[in-house]
Structure 1
Amino acid sequence: MAITIKDIAKRANVSTATVSRVINDIGGYGSETRERVLRAAKELGYYKNAAATSLVTNKTKTIGIIIPDVSTSFYGNIVTGIEDIAYDYGYSVILTHAGVEGKRLSDSLKLMVNRRVDGIIIVSIYLKKEQQVMISRLGVPTILLSTISEDNRLPYIKVDDYEAMYHATQYLIDHHHQKIGLAGVNPNDKVAGEPRLLGYLDCLVANHLPVDKALICYGDFSFDAGRRAMEYYVHHRLPTAIVCASDDTALGVISIAHQYAIGVPEQLSVIGYDDTSIAWMTTPPLTTIAQPFYDMGARGCKRLIQAIANEQAIVSEIIPFQLKERKTVRMLENESE
């Protein structure tokens, strides 16, 4: 026999109207009541008809996630954070790839419209004005994670990439390094590339160190970008330390260093950026700038759900980074090394 809201109301000792409001996430009840109703529903094995509910409430309890299709490894923790919070609030998620630099963003947005999502989370894709117009016409609450939009028109949650790269470069300088390379950064990427490049450059200038363009190897934040950079350094000019645009890039640097028997950190210090799982799996474990990806995903999803429920604006937030000290940076004994 099918379980009904009357059965749940009896078990939870509330009215059927209250059960209906909780199950359909309409509001008008306290947190204790919500927990009691949901617990009763779970104990009775109740499953609501999502299609029928969406017709009544005009909500599908679905969140769309749009990420680019790139060869870096940090998206997993962001998506896990989103999914965990979505599950807690009774939402499901749809994940789609928009291609490198969001080239298929319009197709991804069309998919979200067709699936009638209640909110959209866009990860690590810089949005220009025309794309913002496209999103605004959808009338769906949207938040950006680890990215921004032109003129900061859409709400976002991210770290300060400029300050993080400045801090990483300063850490190497404090360890007496003066010949510091920068590997894997894309100067045309306004989200992460441009601010990280400026953070590196400004830190050198602030410490009265020369800016040597021969020590900057541009790339796309990938493992291969790190390998190409290190090949260049080996055959042209090897710095004493390299700050990398990502952990993937740092591992590419370390892999080529190993091929040429260049010891890390004995002969070359390396700092990554992101603190993905590979940072502590590598040998030696990677010193890196840690972005709180899981927390970023969880916070973003929670704020989006609150905006959906209360029809309130989402406030942007800069969240703190950390420098995780591990085993790939060496203190030089003197500045002439």
Structure 2
Amino acid sequence: MNKPTIKDVAKEANVSIATVSRIINNGVGYSAKTKDLVMQTVQKMGYSPNAIARGLINKQSNTIGVLMPELSGLVSAEILHGIEKAAHSQGQSVIVCNTASVGGQTLDYLKLLQEKQVDGVLFTSQFLTHEYADFIKKMGVPVITISAYSEDRATPAVRVDDETAAYDAVKYLLQQGHSEIGMISGSPGDRLAGAPRIEGYKKALHDEGIPFDKTKVVWRNGFYFEDGREACSQLLNEHPTITALFAASDELAVGAMTSAAEQGIQVPDQLSIIGYDGTKLSAMVLPPLTTVSQNFIEMGETAATLLLDSIQTGVTSKGATIQHQIIERKSVRKL
């Protein structure tokens, strides 16, 4: 059986095609009785309006583009869950582009999103260069970054204050009586998640009157399990007296827990560890990980809602700061 067309609906309801079109697209010039009749006919016949045709009428594709690295990652998955929740609640579609591969991929995907005539762009967990920002401006659509760093400071952003969140993580360890505290970090050259979290660590120690020892901050290439495992091994070898550790991601923290176990060090009895991110992983390990939650689902939902508001109003969003929170579990011991 062929899919019903707008012409079929008009014939069945005994109205003009123009009337059906106006009703479907929330136009004017029809009675409430006629609207009820047409909508009942649409439902009965299973008619689905062509999204492209509707876009030609209202000048919108009702689609937003999301540029996101590592779609299989826990952070990306939670952010995307929030984005889709907000988008679908407003009848919007989402095109997700995986930018994790080689250079040039991001620009290629931006060109694809331009061809698809998306109404707006969410740029997630990566580096928004001037080149990318300029291309999006030429597209003529709003953009919001999510947990990302932008060379264009005017770009609205939705993210946690990383320096403050890291400060609170180390302060939590200090409040539990720890003073010998190490850190496993991202690279200090990482302006998104590396440098700000290190600064938060340093400031918390400074405010407590504890001198900063740069050798107690160790990093590798990223924020992943193996990075945490290797960095923790180095840190414990160089500073065997530390009683607590701040890891700048949950994966780093789990890597550190594994490294500690391999050295016969018990968590939290001999070493307390606090993570960062608040992903599902933090609740899946033993002992369950105390962590700083970035509330990624809320982050994605907020960003999508702000973007859709900008699309409808034409007003550039001011972005938003998402409130972090410390989730206490079993990986930190009070001295």
- TM-score, normalised relative to structure 2: 0.86
Q: Which residue pairs with 1:55 in the alignment?
A: 56
| 2:71/2:77 contact within 8 Å kept | no
SS across alignment from 2:127: coil
Paired residues for 1:224-243 under 5 Å? 224-238=226-240, 239-243=242-246
Relative to 1, partners in 2 of residues 1:151 and 1:92: Cα closer, same or farther, differing over 3 Å? closer
| Residues in 1 aligned to 2:158 and 2:225: alpha-carbon distance in whole angstroms | 26
Q: Which residue of 1 aligns with 2:32?
A: none
Mapping for residues 237-252 of structure 1, pairs under 5 Å: 237-238=239-240, 239-252=242-255
Q: Deviations over 1:176-229 (max 9, x none)?
A: 111111103221111221111101011111111021112111231111110111
Match of 2:23 among 19, 29, 36: 19
2:271 alignment partner in structure 1: 268
User: Percent identity, aligned pairs only?
Assistant: 35
Of residues 258, 261, 264, the one that matches 1:258 is: 261
Instruction: Summarize the Cα distance change of 1:204–1:59 in structure 2 as closer, same or farther, 3 Å threshold.
Output: same
Equivalence for 1:81: 82
Return closer, same or farther for 1:270/1:295 CA change in 2, 3 Å cut-off. same
Matched, 1:289 2:292: yes
CA distance in 1, matches of 2:47, 2:113: 28
Alpha carbons of 1:43 and 1:122: their partners in 2 closer, same or farther (altered >3 Å)?
farther
Q: Structure 1 residue 55: deviation in Å?
A: 2.7
> Residues 319 and 271 (structure 1 numbering): CA distance in 2 closer, same or farther, change over 3 Å?
same
Where does residue 310 of structure 1 map in the other structure? 313
Could you tell me how far apart the structure 1 residues matched to 2:309 and 2:44 are? 27
Contact 1:122 1:142 in 2 (8 A): yes
Residues 40 and 266 of structure 1, relative CA distance in 2, 3 Å threshold: farther
**Greater CA drift, 122-131 or 220-229:** 122-131
Q: Distance in 2 between matches of 1:68 and 1:324?
A: 26
> What is residue 31 of structure 1 aligned with on the other side?
none
Farther off after superposition, 256-265 or 94-103: 94-103
Partners in 2 of 1:40 and 1:204 — Cα distance? 68
Once the two structures are superposed, residues 282-309 of structure 1 have per-residue CA deviations (whole angstroms, 9 ceiling, x without a partner) of: 1111000011111111111111112112
The match for 1:299 among 295, 298, 302 is 302
Count of residue pairs the alignment pairs up = 319
Aligned to 1:92: 93
- Contact kept, 8 Å, 2:133 with 2:152, in 1: the verdict is no
In the other structure, the counterpart of 2:31 is none
Are 1:186 and 2:187 an aligned pair?
yes
User: CA 1:207–1:113 in 2, change beyond 3 Å: closer, same or farther?
Assistant: same
- Report the Cα offset of residue 318 of structure 1: 0.9
What is the CA-CA distance between 1:150 and the residue it aligns to?
Answer: 2.4
C-alpha separation between the residues in 1 aligned to 2:13 and 2:316? 34
Q: Answer whether contact 1:177 1:241 (CA < 8 A) is retained.
A: yes
Q: Which residue of 2 aligns with 1:109?
A: 110
SS in structure 1 opposite 2:291?
Answer: strand
Distance across 1 between alignment mates of 2:176 and 2:45: 61
Q: Which residue of 2 aligns with 1:222?
A: 224
- CA positional deviation for 1:9: 9.3
Other structure's SS at 2:170 match: helix
Q: Give me the TM-score of the superposition, normalised by structure 1.
A: 0.86
Q: CA deviation at 1:118?
A: 1.2
Which AA in structure 2 matches 1:51?
I
Q: Which runs of 4+ in 1 moved over 4 A?
A: 3-10, 15-18, 37-44, 100-103
CA contact (8 A) 1:148 1:154 kept: no
- 1:83 deviates by 1.0
